[in-house]
C-alpha cells in the first residue's frame, strides 16, 4: 500500500446559502511542491454547482509556514476575505473565497 500523499475535507453547501467549504487540506511533506495541493483544490471545483462560493480558512499573513497555503489559494483563484479568530497557537487566520457563477 502506498503512503498517503494528501487529503481534503470538503463540505457541500447548506440549503440556506450556496457556500461550499474546504475544511481541511494537507499534503505530506515529501509530496509538497509537486502539484498535489493544486490537484486537490481543483478537484473541489468539480464538486461545486454554480452559482456558489467556495471558502477555506487558512493561516494569516503573520504565519510564515502558512505562506505556501495562502499562495496556493491565491494561485487557484481565491481572494482574501474576513479574518477568523486566532488559531490554537495564537496566530492569525483568514478566510479565502472563490466565486463560481
pLDDT digits (tens, 9 = 90+) for 9-64: 999 877 677 999 999 999 999 999 999 999 999 999 999 999 999 999 999 999 99
What local confidence, expressed as pLDDT, does residue 13 receive? Answer: 76
Structural domain contains residue 72:
yes
Contact assessment for residue 90 and residue 55, using Cβ atoms and an 8 Å cutoff: no
What local confidence, expressed as pLDDT, does residue 95 receive? Answer: 97
Residues of the domain holding 11: 6-100
Lookup: cell for 48: 461545486
CATH number at residue 30: 3.40.630.30
d(CA 45, CA 49): 9
What local confidence, expressed as pLDDT, does residue 29 receive? Answer: 93
**For the chain, how many structural domains are there in total?**
1
Dihedral over alpha carbons 35, 56, 73, 85 (to 10 degrees): -120
What local confidence, expressed as pLDDT, does residue 11 receive? Answer: 94
Residue 31 pairs in a beta bridge with none
Amino acid at each position: 500500500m502506498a503512503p498517503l500523499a494528501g487529503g481534503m475535507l470538503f463540505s457541500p453547501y447548506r440549503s440556506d446559502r450556496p457556500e461550499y467549504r474546504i475544511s481541511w487540506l494537507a499534503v505530506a511533506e515529501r509530496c509538497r511542491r509537486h502539484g498535489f495541493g493544486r490537484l486537490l483544490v481543483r478537484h473541489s471545483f468539480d464538486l461545486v454547482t454554480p452559482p456558489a462560493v467556495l471558502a477555506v480558512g487558512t493561516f494569516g499573513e503573520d504565519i510564515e509556514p502558512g505562506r505556501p497555503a495562502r499562495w496556493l489559494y491565491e494561485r487557484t483563484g481565491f481572494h482574501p476575505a474576513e479574518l477568523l479568530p486566532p488559531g490554537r497557537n495564537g496566530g492569525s487566520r483568514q478566510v479565502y473565497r472563490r466565486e463560481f457563477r
